[in-house]
Structure 1
Amino acid sequence: MQEAFLDPTINAANLAAPAADLSPWALFIHAALVVKLVMIGLVIASIWVWAVIFDKIITIRKTKRQADEFEDLFWSGGSLDDLYDQYGVKPNHPMAAVFSAGMGEWRRSARITGLDMSSDGVKQRIDRAMSITITREMERLERWLTLLATVGPVAPFVGLFGTVWGIMHAFASIAQSNNTSLAVVAPGISEALFATALGLLTAIPAVVAYNFFSHKLNLFAERLEGFATEFSAILSRQSEASISSSKSDAVENQE
């Protein structure tokens, strides 16, 4: 046995044996049909995940920039009516939509003759209008996050399924060939494990992106709610000031 290992003829034959091609494309081509379908599905899911990631990065940055610009105008001391005329008809970002909802409800209530603008009913309608708008705008911003939340936990198990199936197929081929050398075993096992690698490459970005975007959108939702609260307080003060002014005018007219 020791002489066999030292035989230069055997060593030369082993060195001359071609190495198995373990490139990603070769692993895909030689994989079993079920494993190929798993790999194709994971690649499609990965492309979809990255498309959502890039879309959310652009959308969140654009939305934040528009909110900053709008708040600068809102707190600049200009007329709320002028701001509503500029953004109220067709609001093009969430904060303008919240402002439009509150201001629109306040104007509709003001048109009703004899309605006390400082009453709790008016305040509740304005707050409800802005709250509904916040919910609707956040649902629009959170679109496709469900995909990230689903792909993240599921992709590794899909890849694991492909791996288990591939290993079963590799063992069946080994049993048929009656050859258990590493050169025969390695390609089949590598093809199977490649499915798990694809599952992890798909899942990791999805999980990280979902947590990151969820945090950013939660902060933005709190920002919208804070703006709605401040805007409601401004409208309430204006209503009370308008009523006080009307009462003062009435007293002066009586005198």
Structure 2
Amino acid sequence: MSYQNLLTEQKQRILYITINRESKLNALNAATLSELHVAFAAAFADDSIGGVIITGGGQKAFVAGADISELNALDKAGAEQMARNAHDKVFNFIENGNKPVIAAINGFALGGGLELAMACHIRVASENAKVGLPELTLGLIPGYGGTQRLTKLIGKGKAFEMILTADMMTAEQALYFGLVNHVVEPGDLLPKAEDLLQKILTRAPLGVAAAIKAINAAGNADGFETEINGFTQCFATEDRVEGTKAFLEKRKPQFRGK
């Protein structure tokens, strides 16, 4: 499928999604959010795709935020509809997907851009990346999950500071506080993301999906039950049989996602 605001390319089992609005610093307008839903829905349903790497076009920004011109045109009801729609079809949709998604943060990840990166399962940042939630400078608060995911990732106190001051973090600061997993030189950004995802793709796909679901349930009332259910369901898979057999035979397992 062709997109107006995204570039997609599949290499072996990895789908690369590039937000292609470089002149707008890859800001998330309604059309881009809609295309992201379509692209991720297709990726999650495609058995030939094992995982996704998402990045921004150009060198300046992953995503510099939401499209302010669109926000300015909204009334209260329109803002609620936009936020709920974005949560359901993009941010929560990515986080709760059945395949691993890695954000390759190449430059600014601000507002909705950082919220998009936080919805991904792993974040790799370029040394020149800067991240932040500056919504309070507009008289707003984060509306795409920022208050919730940031608090889970870096803790309540630091989340308060970051959101209330609207200050940005450098890549190294983000690494220190656990907001990103790795910081690399700009030229190593995609290779690092690829290395991580390739390693994940050697694991059992159904097990990966179960792990994603269980980790997302951490802290919920049913978190332990989700883990037990996932663990139990894995026992009914061919991949579990192959994995234990390969271990006992001292060889690499050949997982098939069954």
TM norm structure 2: 0.25
Q: Which of the pair has the greater relative contact order for Cα pairs under 8 Å at 6+ separation?
A: 1
Q: Which has the higher helix share?
A: 1
